[in-house]
Structure 1
Amino acid sequence: MDANLTGNLSPDDPELSPVTRAMVALRGQVLDAWMAEVRRAVPQAKELSLPILANTLPAYFDTLAALLTPQHPARIVSDLGTVASEHGGERARLTLYDATAVIHEMQIFRDVLFRELERHGVVLEGEQRAMLSSYIDATIRESANAFTVVQAALREQFVAAMAHDLRTPLSTAQMAAEMIAHTSGDANVRRYVEKIVASTQRIDGMTRELLDRIAFSKTGPVRLTIQEVDLVTLAREVAQAAEVAHAVELSVEAGQVRGWWCAEALRRAIENLVNNAIKYGAPDAPVRITVSTTQERVQVLVHNRGAPIAPEDSEGIFQLYRRAGNQGLGEGWGVGLPYVRRIAEAHGGSVMMSSSEDDGTVFVIDLPMDARPFAGAPTAA
């Protein structure tokens, strides 16, 4: 059921319950109705382009629907939290939303979902409706929390940039004051200059301390060279190169998926995911790469079998120089997954992860089809 993370569950999948299949069949109508209502009711959403407004909602919708299938995989619940968090993070990085707008649009989603299901004759039992309402409420909190966390990270980056830029005019002012002290014979002037120099030195010391406290200032901006790319060809090249070391299966929904991205950055991001899948996955099971599309967005999914990533490690693996602790690795230097997240976010997208003993581990890079308007977008990773 990995397709839930890409928003590509099939209404014909026999493993899904009838109510899940009925709900998935209405995905397009529900999301269109939701977007129309959000544009009307949320001022910050009026001018958003379709891929940014749609965001991770196809995956969110499908994961909610999967909850209505009895004996659904246990990971589905954590998947829902992951998708909701990425939704909030994207809103912080790519829109003018505030936390109230994030909460409001998710409340609209809940109302529109039940209205459209009823309008199309999809009958929910009382327990099913209560369960969906409960999970939507929980994920509203997760989206709002992620929005707040990412917004705080972006504020730190802004402060770091300002502190860094302040040091140049401070240095110039200090040098100019010292020149005045050397060339002036007026004792009062020299006394005032000493105060200026002492003050600029204090400010410089405070800015250096501030920079030392903000780790984000050391990562630097993501520089992308955007061009038209066939993502299927790129994924096939990565798969063929990796097949030297391990079996890799490529699944695509079309012969080509053309869009505007940074080819080299995406190649490296996919290579990182595939190499991790080979390194930490089961040696006798192939790694699977899937390329799919939703509303003006594209998804690259990389799946492997093997020991799962523990829930407590699910966010830590995206932090610079950390690795998951449940795979016998301990702490170590690692930049692969943080790099993947930064590249996805710099394209105006997200990266999501799901892992369980039964289903293996899945990473999904979810991007707008045309990243040109979002190139170099703020990244929290």
Structure 2
Amino acid sequence: MNANLTGHLSPDDPDLSPVTRAMLALRTPLLAAWMDEVRGSVPQAKDLPLPILENTLPAYFDTLASLLTPGHSARILTDIGAVASEHGGERARMTMYDATALIHELQIFRDVLFRELKHHGVELDEAQRTTLFAHIDATIRESTNAFIVVQAALREQFFASMAHDLRTPLSTAQMAAEMIGHTSDDPSVRRFAEKIVASTQRIDGMTRELLDRITFCKTGAVQLVIERMDLTALVRDVAQWAEHFHSVELEVEAEPIEGYWSREAIHRAIENLVNNAIKYGARDPAIRLTLSTTIERVQLMVHNHGTPIAPEDSESIFQLYRRAGRQHPGSGWGVGLPYVRRVAEAHGGSVLMSSSREDGTAFVIDLPTDARPFAGAPTAA
């Protein structure tokens, strides 16, 4: 149930087809081979920290493998698009990649996948090969689109910040030029001072127009106080609080799961997800909190049943002051999920979402185990 979003589908799951299980059994060596080849072939990836290079690839790999199980749910198709988009967005925020590098690393993934499957004796029929090829090609397109959109948002934020910061020295230069014009008896000096004043006023007007044209909400950076902490204990605290309002099931891979994160920010983000599950989910069954790890990363999943979030709302729910109104009517500003995304991205991570009537709704916060090198990373949310 949504284990694909955390990269923890089991190769022993009897509900999965033999070829899916065979792929899952090769997850670790295949991803390791992919990372080695990417480091050697993509210059921008050479010095990337392992958790950033790994990114959401375990979740992507598991979701791709699920496509080879006949009768897979429609949710899997939505999931693979969501994971692909998050991959592209994280590459834009956390690396020096350009679009060419992103496309190259996904092409390497495709080549490594088929090479390693063949090497380990996993036979694919023509329909299965076609399915994998088609969805990897779609992944390249969707990841690249997300990469371009997030890069544009980051450029927009940069230009807005630059335009705002320019106004202070411009104002100082203008006042100095006006003072020179008022105090000098030399006509030439006054004439030049007037030109300086006119030019600074023009530049100031241009910067104000630029600020007016940039349409984004400046909510400020997420303030992170990174410290060593036990995420298992924090999640248990949230689960105990939530049990006053709704039944909760907690599953943890290990205890403790320690790393470096912002305790307050992560606590608020998890509470927001659990509160949404309580508010918008069905009364039964229990809300599930699952805590697991992959290579130098940790995944926290909040899952509930209830009215699903429509695919067309899967992005708008993360936008400030917007919400999936048709599915979840009610009052409120809708700042919870944008905050969750900002917290995850500021830690160098991502948020994945999957929703369907049959499988329920799951949100996964996927973070580097040690967020210190990435604290305050740029956020597109």
Question: Taking structure 1 as the reference length, what is the TM-score of the superposition?
Answer: 0.97
RMSD, aligned CA: 1.3
State the alpha-carbon separation in 2 of the partners of residues 323 and 286 from structure 1: 24
AA aligned opposite 1:133: F
Contact 2:177–2:196 (Cα < 8 Å) also in 1: yes
Q: 1:202 and 2:202 equivalent?
A: yes
Q: State the shift of 1:222 in Å.
A: 2.1
Aligned partner of 1:59 in structure 2 is 59
Aligned partner of 2:315 in structure 1 is 315
AA aligned opposite 1:211: L
Aligned partner of 2:104 in structure 1 is 104
Contact 1:353–1:364 (Cα < 8 Å) also in 2: yes
State the alpha-carbon separation in 2 of the partners of residues 233 and 212 from structure 1: 45
Q: 1:94 and 2:94 equivalent?
A: yes
Aligned partner of 1:140 in structure 2 is 140
Q: 1:229 and 2:212 equivalent?
A: no
Q: 1:109 to 1:32 in 2, by over 3 A?
A: same
State the alpha-carbon separation in 2 of the partners of residues 119 and 129 from structure 1: 15
Deviates more, 1:322-331 or 1:371-380: 322-331
Aligned partner of 2:280 in structure 1 is 280
Aligned partner of 1:181 in structure 2 is 181
3-state secondary structure, aligned to 1:193: helix
Q: 1:127 and 2:116 equivalent?
A: no
Deviates more, 1:129-138 or 1:218-227: 218-227
Q: Which deviations, in whole Å up to 9, do the C-alpha atoms of 1:306-328 show, x marking residues without a partner? A: 00001110000000100012224
Deviates more, 1:367-376 or 1:284-293: 284-293
Deviates more, 1:366-375 or 1:320-329: 320-329
Contact 2:17–2:69 (Cα < 8 Å) also in 1: yes
State the alpha-carbon separation in 2 of the partners of residues 162 and 337 from structure 1: 28
Contact 1:161–1:217 (Cα < 8 Å) also in 2: no
Aligned partner of 2:22 in structure 1 is 22
State the alpha-carbon separation in 1 of the partners of residues 275 and 101 from structure 2: 39
Q: State the shift of 1:138 in Å.
A: 0.5
Q: 1:330 to 1:207 in 2, by over 3 A?
A: farther
State the alpha-carbon separation in 1 of the partners of residues 192 and 36 from structure 2: 63
State the alpha-carbon separation in 2 of the partners of residues 360 and 53 from structure 1: 30
Name stretches of at least 5 consecutive residues in structure 1 with no aligned partner. none
Aligned partner of 1:362 in structure 2 is 362
3-state secondary structure, aligned to 1:326: coil
State the alpha-carbon separation in 1 of the partners of residues 328 and 242 from structure 2: 24
Q: 1:249 and 2:262 equivalent?
A: no
State the alpha-carbon separation in 1 of the partners of residues 316 and 92 from structure 2: 20
Aligned partner of 2:334 in structure 1 is 334
Report matched runs for 1:31-70 at 5 Å.
Answer: 31-70=31-70
AA aligned opposite 1:131: T
Deviates more, 1:104-113 or 1:331-340: 331-340
3-state secondary structure, aligned to 2:124: coil
State the alpha-carbon separation in 2 of the partners of residues 284 and 257 from structure 1: 29
Aligned partner of 2:83 in structure 1 is 83
AA aligned opposite 2:98: D
Aligned partner of 2:371 in structure 1 is 371
Contact 2:310–2:327 (Cα < 8 Å) also in 1: no
State the alpha-carbon separation in 2 of the partners of residues 379 and 190 from structure 1: 47
State the alpha-carbon separation in 2 of the partners of residues 92 and 285 from structure 1: 38
Contact 2:232–2:257 (Cα < 8 Å) also in 1: yes
Contact 1:323–1:330 (Cα < 8 Å) also in 2: no
Identity fraction in percent? 75
Aligned partner of 1:299 in structure 2 is 299
Q: State the shift of 1:127 in Å.
A: 0.4
AA aligned opposite 1:347: H
State the alpha-carbon separation in 1 of the partners of residues 132 and 258 from structure 2: 36
Between the two proteins, the alignment pairs up a number of residues equal to 381
Aligned partner of 2:71 in structure 1 is 71
Q: State the shift of 1:331 in Å.
A: 8.6
State the alpha-carbon separation in 1 of the partners of residues 226 and 83 from structure 2: 26
3-state secondary structure, aligned to 2:298: strand
Aligned partner of 1:348 in structure 2 is 348
State the alpha-carbon separation in 2 of the partners of residues 347 and 226 from structure 1: 9
Question: Taking structure 2 as the reference length, what is the TM-score of the superposition?
Answer: 0.97
Contact 2:280–2:328 (Cα < 8 Å) also in 1: no
Q: State the shift of 1:182 in Å.
A: 2.3
State the alpha-carbon separation in 2 of the partners of residues 32 and 41 from structure 1: 14
Name stretches of at least 5 consecutive residues in structure 2 with no aligned partner. none
State the alpha-carbon separation in 2 of the partners of residues 303 and 163 from structure 1: 42
State the alpha-carbon separation in 1 of the partners of residues 332 and 241 from structure 2: 26
State the alpha-carbon separation in 2 of the partners of residues 94 and 109 from structure 1: 19
Contact 2:246–2:278 (Cα < 8 Å) also in 1: yes
